[in-house]
Amino acid sequence: MKKPLVYSLASGLVWIGVASVIAYVVSPIHTTPSDVARTFAGGIVAAPAIGVLIGYISRRFANLSRPRRVWVALGDLYLATFLFLFATGIGHVPRDLVWRSHYVTLQRSLVVDPLLGTLLGLTYTGFVIGLLPLSYFNHVLIGRSWVHID
């Protein structure tokens, strides 16, 4: 496996921790870590694949100008967050349908909740201010590893 893909996979694993800590801190009742893991199980399972995808997208990151790098890092942050919440929604569908016999619409679980969660969860709460530098730094590291491969 190529080194950038390994770095991207590791990045996805690190972002699992970041998402878990944010979910725990934001929770109004400070649920247990196992409750957080159960809630975001689909996203946690998909996070390494999302990391590899974003790492592959950032392949030409080192060739961009600084303003474009910031925009790419910001766009990828929103894309990765949406994909994480989308995978979380996929994890909720069988749980709600099978275990609870609670029928929710697929549109809500797979489109509306991830989209609103991404926009409001990053922008409205201000997490984008803290996560954008992490995303940028992540892109720089992975982008540099791609330069040595190409």
Check pLDDT > 80 for residue 22.
no
pLDDT value, residue 65: 92
In this prediction, residues 102-110 reach a mean pLDDT of: 70
**64 Rama sector, left if φ>0, alpha if ψ -120 to 50, beta otherwise:** beta
**Model confidence band, residue 132 (pLDDT cutoffs 50, 70, 90):** very high
Q: What whole-number distance in Å separates Cα of residue 14 and Cα of residue 11?
A: 5
Global pTM exceeds 0.95:
no
How far is C-alpha 132 from the chain's CA centre?
Answer: 12
In this prediction, residues 123-137 reach a mean pLDDT of: 89
Return the DSSP state at 121. I
Q: Convert the pLDDT of each residue in 26-42 to its tens digit.
A: 666 656 666 666 777 88
69, 72, 129, 131 from 65: Cα distances, Å? 6, 10, 21, 20
pLDDT value, residue 77: 92
Amino acid (one-letter) located at 73: A
Contacts of 126 (CB under 8 A, 6+ apart): none
